[in-house]
Amino acid sequence: MLFTLKNLSKQRWSWLLLAASALSLELCALYFQHVMLLEPCVMCIYERIPMIGIILSGLLGASAPHNIVLRLSAFLLWAVSAVWGLLLAIEHTDYQFNPSPFATCDFFPNFPSWAPLHEWMPWLFNPTGDCSEIVWQFLGYSMPQWLIVSFSIYIALFAVVAFFALLGAKK
């Protein structure tokens, strides 16, 4: 078991599994938006970006799992995306459970002028909902609360896989 964990980051299937899990969550978000007609808010849109970062990290790691530079880049992208996503989900949950007229999310996304994602791909990045409104729950948890769970799992998996990758590197 330890031998397998040491080499997990060098296996293409593990990186593809990471990408597939994040892609499935992203597809769920699109299902909620386009089939169930739940309107995503600005925070929902912002939370999609770190999830896409996790998809990209999985694809990057899978592209050449034995290449140390690409593998380290994939690890870095995975860690940054998971932590960033967790922080956004926590902020979004705060908007929902502590609504205040003084602390609200933006009406329009604040993307850089050189990358107006909401104009390039409005079907994916155009917010139309209210951040403080809870429009969906499962087992008593709202969508951003489930994202806290998801991003926390990604962080925990990162810690385990990175730890054993470092352990395997020290021979």
- Distance between CA atoms of 60 and 9, rounded to whole angstroms? 12
- Distance between CA atoms of 79 and 151, rounded to whole angstroms? 10
Of residues 65, 61, 67, the one with CA closest to residue 81: 61
* Residues annotated as part of the active site: 41, 44, 48, 105, 131
Block residue for tokens 């948890």: 141
Write phi, then psi, for 98 (nearest 5 degrees): -135, 60
- Distance between CA atoms of 51 and 171, rounded to whole angstroms? 34
